[in-house]
Every structure is written in C-alpha cells, then in structure tokens.
Amino acid sequence: MSSNLTPQDAEPLPDNPSGRISFGMILRALFRDVIVLMSVIFLIVLIFSATFAEVVAPFDPLLPNIFANRLPPMSYATALDGTENLHMLGTDALGRDILSRLIYGARASIFVALVSVFVSGILGTCLGIIAGYYGGLVEATIMRAVDAFMAVPSLLIALFVLFIIGGGLVNMVLIFALVRWVVYARLARGIALTLKEAPFVEAARAIGASDFRIMYRYILCNMLSPLMVLATLEVALLVLAEAGLSFLGFGLLPPEPSWGLMISRGREYMRDAWWMITFPGLAIFLTTLSFNLLAGWIRAISDPTQRWRWLK
C-alpha cells in the first residue's frame, strides 16, 4: 500500500470560477442589474458634485438676488452684475439658485451621514464583538448600556444635546455616532454569539489562535456582509435624520445650505412655489432609496457562498 497520495487520487479541482473576486467581475455584475446600476450612478454623481461643489455648482449658493425671487424652474433672471442667468430648478424666496444650494447641501448631508456611520459602526462593532465573545460581566455592562440607549428615542437625545451644545456639522456627527452605535453592537453581539460556537472557531482555538485573532479573522470577517448592509441602511437613515434636525432648526444654521433647511424654508411658500420644497425632498428621497437598493445588492455580492450567482 503506498503511503503517499497522488493528486489524481483526489477529485479534480472544481472549475467553477470564484476564488478571489476582481473589480471587473463586480462591474459586470453591476451592469446586469439596471436598477442598482442607476442607484450607483446617482450616488456617484451626488458624491462627485458634493465634493467638487465649487466647480459643479452654477452659482454661489449664498448669493441672494431679491429681484429674482421665487422664479419657477428653467427661467432666466438678470443678475446684479447684469449677466443673464438660467436657473434650472428655479430660485428660492431670497432669489438664491436652488440647484446650487442642493449641490452644496449634499455636502452637509453626505458628510454627516458617512462620517457618523463610520465612527458609530467601528465603535458599535468592536463593543458588540467583545460583548458576544467574552460574555459574563463585560457583556452585561455593554448590553445594558445598549438597552439604555435603545430605550430613549435617538432623535430625541440628538435634539436635546444639540439644543444644549448648539448645531453645526461636527456636533451633529458626534451626536449621531453616540446614539447610533447601539444598532451595530446589537447585531455584532448576536452574530458573535453564534459564531463563537461554530466548529471553525473551536478549530481556531485548538490551533492556538489568540483571542484577538479569533475575534478579528474568524468572527469579524464573517459578519462583514450583514454589517455592511446595516451601515448602508444607516446612511439612508442619517440623511433623513440630518434633514429632519435641520428642518426643526437644530442642525445646520442658516444661511448654510442643507436639504432639511431648504424644505423648512420652502414650507411657507408651498402654495405658490412648489419647486422650493419638491427638489430638496426629491434629493432626500432618491439618496435614501439608492442607499437602500445598494444595501440589498451588497448583501448578495459580499457573501462568498452566494456571490457566484451574480458573478460569472
């Protein structure tokens, strides 16, 4: 009996291509799904124009023109310096260009949403994994804190704190990170509890892997897919929250452009100038919808056992 095995002894390598995925494969999968593709294009355009607002926006968003107030979309107005300007989405009550204000307003919305999701996601995931993995007193402490945060409506806390310390970009990011980490902590703890008992984690312990290594390579790496979905949904939620807080006057302060503020100002003119609240409302709606659609797609594509259905 031969003691050595030849490769022919085993079954052949499956030729179903997967292994590591390339950027090109993701692109091809994206092009097959038209709705997600449109959302992605919308988000790219949005982020690009927000980043390069100075170049993209046709006018200064803060420049009023009192003689050209409440102009409907696609109307021309003579500026103070005498040039003829096309206001594609019309102007607001002070004669400021709505398109330019939307582009600058995207900055606030996207910045606040992305940065707060990033900060709260990292904080919540770390605490959740630690709670789930170690259990006992550590878990009890962290999870009771989570329960306490969950028990109070997060927007209410945000309102209260922003009322005391004042609005503004940085304060909003801080407050969102503080109230939203709990959702990641809950999810991460739940998954960590299941994965902790998985045979491959026991195998890792038997190999001699340290606690940190197990938490990072064996637990965190296997929950990235649901975490990414949650984070994407949270971005959508925070865009809404930012708009809401600004609408109520606790977020950005006028005259800074923000979608929520624009709706709040436009509300007074709803009867005779529909465009003043329709376009910022549409911007919020499309952004939220795009992030939601993207979240569903990410879930499908980031699971190594499922992704072959989309990548071919």
Partner 1 sequence: MTRVLDIRDLHVKFSTPGGSIHAVKGVNCHVDAGECLGIVGESGSGKSQTFRAAVGLLGHNGIAEGEIKFLGQDMFNLTPAQLNKIRGNDVAMIFQDPLTSLTPGMRVCDQMKEVLQVHKGIRGGEADRICLDWLERVRINDAKRRLQQYPFELSGGMRQRIMIALAMLCNPSLLIADEPTTALDVTIQAEILDIMAELRRSNNTSIVLITHDMGVVARMCDRVQVMYRGNYVEEGSVKDIFANPTQEYTRMLLDSMPKLDQPRSLEPLIDIAGERPLLETKDIRVSFDLPGNLFSRHNSFNAVDGISFKLRRGETLGVVGESGSGKSTLARAILKLVPTSDGVVSWLGTNMSSFDKGEIRKLRENLQVIFQDPLASLNPSMTIGDAIAEPLKIFKPDMSKSDRQDKVKATLQRVGLTANFADRYPHELSGGQNQRVGIARAIIAKPKLVICDEAVSALDVSVQAQVLRLLRGLQEEFGLSFIFISHDLSVVRDVSHRTLVMYLGRVVEMADTDDLFNNPTHPYTKQLISAVPIPDPEVESRRQRIRLQGELTSPSDPTAHLRFLPSKIQQNQLDYKPRLVEISPNHMVAQHDSIESLMRD
Judged by the rule CB under 8 A, the positions of this chain that interact with partner 1 are 1-7, 9-11, 13-14, 16, 18-20, 198-200, 202-210, 213, 217-218, 221-222, 224, 304-305, 308-309
In whole angstroms, what is the distance from residue 154 CA to residue 128 CA?
Answer: 19
Q: Within 13 Å, how many C-alpha atoms sit on residue 94's CB side?
A: 12
| Residue closer to partner 1 (CB basis): 217 or 267 | 217
Q: Give the shortest CB-190-to-partner 1 separation in angstroms.
A: 18
Q: How far is residue 92's CA from residue 255's CA, in Å, rounded to a whole number? A: 12
Q: Min. distance of Cβ 5 from partner 1 in angstroms? A: 3
Alpha-carbon span 173 to 303, nearest angstrom: 30
Looking at beta carbons only, is 11 or 272 nearer to partner 1? 11
Bridge partners of 310, per DSSP, are none
**Cβ proximity to partner 1, 10 vs 55, nearer residue:** 10
- Give the number of other Cβ atoms within 10 Å of residue 276's Cβ: 24
Closer residue to partner 1 in complex, CB, 165/198:
198
CB of 189 to partner 1, least distance (A): 19
Q: How far is the CB of 122 from partner 1 (least distance, A)?
A: 19
Total Cβ atoms within 10 A of residue 133: 21
- Rounded least distance, CB 230 to partner 1, Å: 17
What DSSP designation does 310 have?
T
Q: How far apart are CA 57 and CA 70, in angstroms?
A: 19
CA distances 198 to 125, 160, 194, 218, 305, Å, are 19, 43, 7, 10, 17
With respect to partner 1, which residue has the nearer C-beta, 150 or 311? 311
Residue 144 or 312 with smaller CB distance to partner 1? 312
Q: How far is the CB of 234 from partner 1 (least distance, A)?
A: 22
